[in-house]
Structure 1
Amino acid sequence: MASISSLGIGSGLDLNGLLDQLESAERKQLEPIMAQQKSYEAKISAYGTLQGAMTKFQDAVAKLNDPELYASLSASSQGDGVGTTITSGAQPGNFSVHVDSLARAQSMTTGGFASREDELGSGTLSFTVGDDTVAIDITQEDSSLEGIRDAINASDAGVSASIVNTGSGDTPYQLVLTSKETGTQSTLTGMTFSATGDDKTLETQLDFTAMSQTVAAQDASLTVNGIAITSQSNEVKGAIEGVTLSLTETHAEDEFATVKVEHNNLALREAVQGFVKSYNDLKGSMGDLSSFNAEAGTAGELLGDSTLRSVESRLRSALTSGVAEGAFSTLSDIGISLQLDGTLELDNDRLDDIISTQRDDLQRFFAGSGGDSTTERPGLADALGDSLAAMLDDGGLIENATSGLETRMEGLVDRYASTERSIDATVERYRAQFGKLDSLIANMNQTSSYLTQQFDALNALNSQ
């Protein structure tokens, strides 16, 4: 609290300074409370770090507990001209693909025009793309080559329009119309322009019979395992069940591409590797939180913490217990060994061999056997998932430990406020006492001065 500036004037003593020193001494009672608050805050933060690492491990465990991981397929292509994308419903197999022709979009061009910007006369432009007939009204002010181009493109009629400059003669500008879709079902037909004014220039130029076809519409043609297939698009769906083929170039007579649909070994391998890595990351986090540096005299926030010890114990128990039945019963059977420092080490060659030859056994080890309630056998991922959920879910081990600290923090806040009020009361009591002392000394000084004056007067009389 602020000191009263007049304190000490009567006595001449530095009572303000003395009061400040006493207040500082009293406020040292708050330091243990603040230290305890910082300790709890650090612990709560440490539990957050632990929870984050455990959640990442939980996600890795959940991937291995998903049956779709073991059933997932991938498609690849060897050879030029064919790309692949896997979709649903694919089945493993090898397919020989020969591309005879690529799908193309039709392109038509008008005769030449002298200008891009001169008005050519109003009217109605009509044409058919595939099964769709379109009519576009062209006003006089929008009847230039540029205006017609923009009107066609704005109509979303399945045709794109552009202007090319051939650079030759007095009429170098041509309007080019191209189907937006490839294949023979998207051809452009029946283009006519019905003029509403006297200018008939466009009726001739935009007559389909007067236009030149620069690119003919064409379907893609290919064979899959010798079966002939046609497609309107170069993205061919259904030729191989559950696979989309992307055609990019044709093959010579004796060339072909091989498409292989197989189990997605890479995804499964990465899931197991992610499991090992996330556990080792979790183990590293727990080690940091419980570490002690003797030279520096520093310790991790959760050194000796019972919650951390419980987490370590439960995870170690779930990892080493393995599963009761099946070709694999422990992690070491699939090439994952527990090291002396508590981390896991993966034998990638052993894992690759198991993925290739014992995929179903690996699924049963991690994800269990499935089935109804009487036959279902849980796997290692089931057990780990249950254990992690019990620690991470609402009301679990981590939340209980954190909420306990938060409750203690609330108690410390109350205790801090109570102690601060007590200190303020003590300082006020000191202030009142110092005020009385200041007045007392001031009175005594006044009495002393009066007596001194009287004695001096008496001495003066006696000396006459």
Structure 2
Amino acid sequence: MAGLTASGIGSGLDVNSLVSQLMTVEQRPLTALATKEASYQSKLSAFGQLKSALSTLQTAANTLKDAAKFSATRATVAGGAPFSATSTSEASAGNYSIEVQALAKEQRTATSATTEFAPAAGDLIVTFGKVDGGIFTPGTAAPKTLNFAGGTLEAFRDAINDGDLGISASIVNNGTVKQLVIKGDATGAEQAFQLSGTTGLSVDPTVAGVSSDPTYNLAGAQDAQVNVDGIIVTRSTNTLSDVLEGVTFTLNKEDVGTPYALTVADDKSSATSAINAFVKAYNDLSTTIKSLTAYDAENKQASTLTGDATARSMQSQLRNMLGGAISGLAGAARLSDIGVSFTATGGLEVNSSKLTEALSNPTLDVGTFFAGTDTVDGFATRISERIDGFIGAEGLIAGRTDGINSSIKSIDNQREQLTARLTRIEARYRAQFTALDTLLSGFTQTSNYLTQQLANLPGSSSSN
């Protein structure tokens, strides 16, 4: 009689493989949750791209709020001029003749070049004033005093620099002795200083002196002097911002007897650049929206935000504003008035020649169109505020992303619950198959025993 066998089962049962295959089926809901979460994450990323593009457009719009940008001027100086110049919208266009006759300077004084100065403990008194006709006249400010405790020349230098005296000190080693060099912190004729006191350092700003003297003056304090169209102007600094309205001069060197031309002209380049930047920012946004909402009919493939109402609403609102008119302005009322219009594909384009003409036409008042008035919001302000409604803390995008994040959080909760359930299911499967393995193992042992017993029966060898 043939023996009872159970090939591949019994104590050889592959419990791990069986459980793994069953759990693969059980985990399908977990895979579905992961797919759904990935979709939500893609939407978050898409709205992030939209927000970034909208933010760039808002920045470009905010730049156009500055009305001064549309009345800007540019100052140009002749080549080799000993000064530079800048101008603002307050400057009047015109040509000017500028001659730099003197630079503003600070007083500079040094100790002897042959005998090294040794400071004594005591007071150093600094008095500021003006030298006029060889006479030093103290100014209205009270003298400043430094109480020096004594020490080296280096210690004296440091004490001066830390003393807030209106002067500063340095040490120059001329190869023979160390010289203490003192200079005023400010330029201008009224910044001459006199030094006195009990430290041994005495300076008279009216005496030039020679290098072998205990102290001698290297340079006297003086004002800048500029000839502007035949008018002599003096200032205490080399930066002059109140000579011509809206123009700032920076004097670099003296060039007595040689006048240089300064030209102030209207400058529309910054306004043109700002408008072009706005157009580019809108076109970039339009491209972003198109790529995120497109549908590939041939491959039947939707994009991340295909059919999304929020994206469509934002695009529609912006297009309406860009094509609409602003009432209450005397000049330009819409973008098309200044040469900015829609293309056939929905983007914006700039007619450069028309824009140049518009910027030069005071009746269109392009600056007011963008910046607005006290009673009428300009185009730039309206666009910026509308974008705030999209990307602000309470805006459309925030509402959508909050909802998506809530959905992702819900998926996380479902995943936790499902994972716990799968753990229990796996434990049950393992328990059931382990029990089955034990049972089959018992059956196998019984089968083997019966086979042996039957083989021992009389005549069993010829029974077959």
Which TM-score applies when normalising by structure 2? 0.80
Indicate yes or no: 2:154 matched with 1:150: no
The offset of 1:457, in angstroms, is: 4.1
CA gap 1:441/1:337 in 2 versus in 1, 3 angstroms: same
Task: Kindly provide the amino acid, as one letter, of the partner of residue 246 in structure 1.
Answer: T
Matched residue SS, 1:188: strand
Task: Kindly provide the amino acid, as one letter, of the partner of residue 426 in structure 2.
Answer: V
Partner of 2:151: 141
Q: More deviation in 26-35 or 221-230?
A: 221-230
- Checking the alignment, whether the CA contact within 8 Å between 1:97 and 1:224 is kept in structure 2 is yes
Indicate yes or no: 2:182 matched with 1:174: no
- Checking the alignment, whether the CA contact within 8 Å between 1:105 and 1:180 is kept in structure 2 is yes
Q: Distance in 1 between matches of 2:240 and 2:295?
A: 63
Indicate yes or no: 2:158 matched with 1:159: no
Partner of 2:101: 100
1:229-244 map, 5 Å: 229-244=233-248
- Checking the alignment, whether the CA contact within 8 Å between 1:129 and 1:179 is kept in structure 2 is no
Q: Which runs of 5+ in 2 are unaligned?
A: 1-7, 130-138, 208-212
The offset of 1:33, in angstroms, is: 1.4
Partner of 2:112: 111
CA gap 1:21/1:179 in 2 versus in 1, 3 angstroms: same
Q: More deviation in 158-167 or 400-409?
A: 158-167
Task: Kindly provide the amino acid, as one letter, of the partner of residue 60 in structure 1.
Answer: A
Partner of 1:13: 13
Q: More deviation in 241-250 or 18-27?
A: 241-250
Q: Deviations over 1:239-296 (max 9, x none)?
A: 2345432222334446144252x66533322221111111111122223323467899
Partner of 1:435: 434
Partner of 1:45: 45
The offset of 1:41, in angstroms, is: 0.4
Q: Distance in 2 between matches of 1:371 and 1:140?
A: 65
Indicate yes or no: 2:365 matched with 1:361: yes
Q: Deviations over 1:19-67 (max 9, x none)?
A: 2221122223321211111111011111011111011112222332444
Q: Deviations over 1:385-440 (max 9, x none)?
A: 34323322334322222222222222322333333344334333333332332233
CA gap 1:394/1:462 in 2 versus in 1, 3 angstroms: closer
Which residue of the other structure, out of 245, 250, 254, is the alignment partner of 1:246?
250
CA gap 1:15/1:270 in 2 versus in 1, 3 angstroms: same
Matched residue SS, 1:238: coil
CA gap 1:225/1:403 in 2 versus in 1, 3 angstroms: same
CA gap 1:327/1:230 in 2 versus in 1, 3 angstroms: closer
Which TM-score applies when normalising by structure 1? 0.80
- Equivalent residues, number: 432
Instruction: Please provide the CA RMSD for this pair.
Output: 3.4
Partner of 1:448: 447
Partner of 1:84: 85
CA gap 1:235/1:330 in 2 versus in 1, 3 angstroms: closer
Q: Distance in 1 between matches of 2:90 and 2:267?
A: 12
CA gap 1:173/1:409 in 2 versus in 1, 3 angstroms: closer
- Checking the alignment, whether the CA contact within 8 Å between 2:73 and 2:93 is kept in structure 1 is no
CA gap 1:420/1:100 in 2 versus in 1, 3 angstroms: same
Q: Deviations over 1:153-177 (max 9, x none)?
A: 332322233334445xxx5543332
CA gap 1:431/1:127 in 2 versus in 1, 3 angstroms: closer
The offset of 1:360, in angstroms, is: 4.9
Partner of 1:339: 343
Indicate yes or no: 2:413 matched with 1:403: no
The offset of 1:317, in angstroms, is: 2.1
Matched residue SS, 2:12: coil
- Checking the alignment, whether the CA contact within 8 Å between 1:107 and 1:178 is kept in structure 2 is yes
The offset of 1:348, in angstroms, is: 2.6
CA gap 1:460/1:114 in 2 versus in 1, 3 angstroms: farther
Partner of 1:228: 232
Indicate yes or no: 2:313 matched with 1:319: no
CA gap 1:419/1:251 in 2 versus in 1, 3 angstroms: same
- Checking the alignment, whether the CA contact within 8 Å between 2:333 and 2:369 is kept in structure 1 is yes
1:270-419 map, 5 Å: 270-291=273-294, 300-323=303-326, 327-358=331-362, 360-368=364-372, 370-372=373-375, 376=376, 378-419=377-418
- Checking the alignment, whether the CA contact within 8 Å between 1:97 and 1:259 is kept in structure 2 is no
Q: Distance in 2 between matches of 1:462 and 1:85?
A: 121
Matched residue SS, 1:240: coil
Partner of 2:191: 186
Q: Distance in 2 between matches of 1:335 and 1:236?
A: 39
Task: Kindly provide the amino acid, as one letter, of the partner of residue 12 in structure 1.
Answer: G
Indicate yes or no: 2:139 matched with 1:129: no
Q: More deviation in 19-28 or 147-156?
A: 147-156
Task: Kindly provide the amino acid, as one letter, of the partner of residue 100 in structure 1.
Answer: Q
> Matched residues, percent identical?
32
Q: Which runs of 5+ in 1 are unaligned?
A: 1-7, 196-201
Q: Distance in 2 between matches of 1:289 and 1:320?
A: 23
- Checking the alignment, whether the CA contact within 8 Å between 2:331 and 2:363 is kept in structure 1 is no
Q: Deviations over 1:150-200 (max 9, x none)?
A: 333332322233334445xxx5543332222222211122x34536xxxxx
The offset of 1:336, in angstroms, is: 1.8
Q: Distance in 1 between matches of 2:395 and 2:179?
A: 74
CA gap 1:360/1:55 in 2 versus in 1, 3 angstroms: same
Q: Deviations over 1:91-145 (max 9, x none)?
A: 53535433322222222233334558xx565444434233453443444532xx4
